[in-house]
Amino acid sequence: MKRTFDTTFIGLFAALWLAGCATAPAPSTPAALADGVLPVAVSQAMAEARLPAASLGAVALPLGHDARPWHYRADVPMQPGSAMKLVTAVVALDRLGTTHSGRTRLLAGGPVVGGVLQGDLVLQGGADPDFGVAPWWLLLRELRDQGITRIGGDLVLDRQRYRPARLDVGAAPFDERPESWWNVVPDALPIDLGLQTLELVADGTSLRARIMPAVAGLRVDTSQMRLNDKPCPDWSDEWLTPLRQEDVGGAGGAVLVLQGAFPRNCTRSEALQAADRTRHAGLVFAQTWRELGGQWDGRVREAETAAPDTLPVLAQRRSRPWGEMLRMMVKTSDNTLARLLFLELGVPAMAAQPQATTLDLARQAVHGWYAQQAIAAPGLVMDNGSGLSRSERITATTLAQTVAWAWHSRHAPDFLMTLPVVGVDGTMRNRVKDSPATGVARLKTGTLRNVRALAGVVQDPQGRAWALAAMINDDEHIEAGRAVLDGLVDRIARGDLGR
């Protein structure tokens, strides 16, 4: 059964959005184009880029008007890259709602007697994407304010919200930079989304490096790094990965060994997966608790099972609602946030299907949503919901119909606010300049080594909105695909789809 919506509200919202996006060109009727035919300008651009016509799949669907839709190889499953984040966002808006949020709790594994917690301290992750070193300090400050001065047991990290708790363990690297921020595989306890900031500062003869904020017991060794004469923007050209992490004695400390080369007279701060998650959590806790005047004689360890609901809650915090987080996730194309939200789609079914992984349940949830909305999804393959995948597939028609569903739904305002504004912000801030689409169209990008994609909403000169989805998959000349897709957006915005 399809979800109903308030057509009066959505119509008013759409009218206000379109009025606010009005552009200078006089209204004109876009020239009709037969299905399966490319605009001449787009066809020429593809030929010049040596992109075969079969590498493109695209569709433009009218939103709230009766113009004829346009399709070009629109029912062929293709790789969407990060445009797949729109599927995760739309399904989450409908299934979880805008107020869905994460939670982090500190639980007492024993009684508190005379200021001493006589048992373990459990840090329970609840998919809080905002949780990090600073919020953790505030939680520990609450413990001190309650008069707790000593932790008698271990720090237990409870990541058991998902099944399995650590999807990153044993996962094959996606590319040659497994330590980079875009490759984070999240869990239910994402401390600073699994990242640490590494600052590198080089003058003409030497290199200094440090983790920020500094963590006692975690240091950086640059003795195996040399300096080169490359420009600073090319700092990663001779960066060797993976980073080596070595234990220091038996105290839980570690040294991060950098290898390769870094440019002279260059300063760079980069968010990286620089430290083992369990070790990093223990080092941060030990340092923070000590700075707050507390004592701890235990060790850090991972929980093997979820903490019982009967454990007393000592302190807790909630994240911002996903209605707000979606804006960051889609506009900046944050893979970790998308993967975390995708896992959340699987959580409601975990109790009923105790043998299934949370990831498989999330995939089932997406397929179930399409069936519920009566949107055909032939060849749909969901992997992790972020688009950072070689296996994910979707047709241009299904992707455009997802956009159209969101446009007509009660979630239209929230959905549109997540999309990058062409030529203004997000991943579209430097694209489609000097076009009627600039500052008006709202589109999500998709980029992999063999993928360029766009999906979202474009307005024509008559003020009519179109749901656009376009994908190019090619292994040899994909770099030119961005200009081809930008040209297609410009054609729609100028009313020249037929030319």
> How far is CA 213 from its chain centroid?
23
| pLDDT tens digit sequence for 207-253 | 999 999 899 888 899 999 999 999 999 999 998 876 666 666 555 67
Give the pLDDT confidence of 312-347 residue by residue, as tens digits: 999 999 999 999 999 999 999 999 999 999 999 999
Does 157 have pLDDT greater than 90?
yes
Residue type, 42: V
Rounded to whole angstroms, the Cα distance separating 265 from 258 reads 18
Tell me which of 366 and 40 has the higher pLDDT: 366
Distances (CA, A) of 222 to 178, 352, 418: 20, 51, 40
Q: How many CA within 13 A on the CB side of residue 234?
A: 9
Note the pLDDT of residue 205. 95
Calculate the average pLDDT of the chain: 91
Q: For residue 406, give the nearest of 193, 87, 34, 43 by alpha carbon.
A: 87
Cis peptide before 436 (omega within 30 of 0): no
Confidence of residue 10 (pLDDT cuts 50, 70, 90): very low
How high is the pLDDT of residue 178?
87
- pLDDT computed for residue 399 by the predictor: 98
pLDDT at residue number 497: 75
What would the mean pLDDT of 61-74 be, rounded to a whole number?
A: 94
Q: Within the chain, which residue ranges are assigned CATH 3.40.710.10?
A: 7-99+323-494
Residue 490 and residue 246: Cα distance in Å, rounded? 53
402-437 pLDDT, tens per residue?
999 999 999 999 999 999 999 999 999 999 999 999
CB 344 within 8 Å of CB 91? no
Question: Which pLDDT tens digit goes with each residue over 246-285?
Answer: 666 555 678 888 999 999 999 999 999 888 899 999 999 9
Spatial distance between the Cα atoms of 279 and 219, rounded to a whole number of angstroms: 13
From residue 469, give the alpha-carbon distance in Å to each of 32, 44, 398.
Answer: 18, 20, 9
DSSP letters for 170-192: TPPPSSS-TTBGGG----SS-GG
> Which residue carries 């001493």 as its tokens?
116
State the average pLDDT over residues 297-318.
96
Both tokens of 370, joined, read 């399409």
What one-character DSSP code corresponds to residue 303?
-
pLDDT at 99 over 70: yes
Secondary structure E strands in 40-102: 56-63, 70-72
pTM for this structure? 0.91
The one-letter amino acid code at 487 reads: G
Q: Which of 92, 117, 93, 114 is nearest to 106 (CA)?
A: 117
Task: List the 112-113 sheet strands across, edge first.
Answer: 112-113, 116-117, 150-151, 295-296
**CATH number among 3.40.50.720, 1.10.3720.10, 3.40.710.10, 3.40.50.970, domain 7-99+323-494:** 3.40.710.10
What pLDDT sits at residue 28?
A: 43
* pLDDT grade for 496, boundaries at 50, 70 and 90: confident
Average pLDDT over residues 195-203: 95
Backbone angles phi, psi at 468, to 5 degrees: -110, 135
Query: Which two three-digit tokens encode residue 291?
Result: 């700075």
Q: What is the 3-state secondary structure (H, E, C) of 123-155?
A: EEEECCCCCCHHHHHHHHHHHHHCCCCEECCCE
Which amino acid appears at position 322 of this protein? W
For residue 32, the model assigns a pLDDT of 56
Quick one: average pLDDT of 177-202?
A: 93
First to last CA, the chain: 40
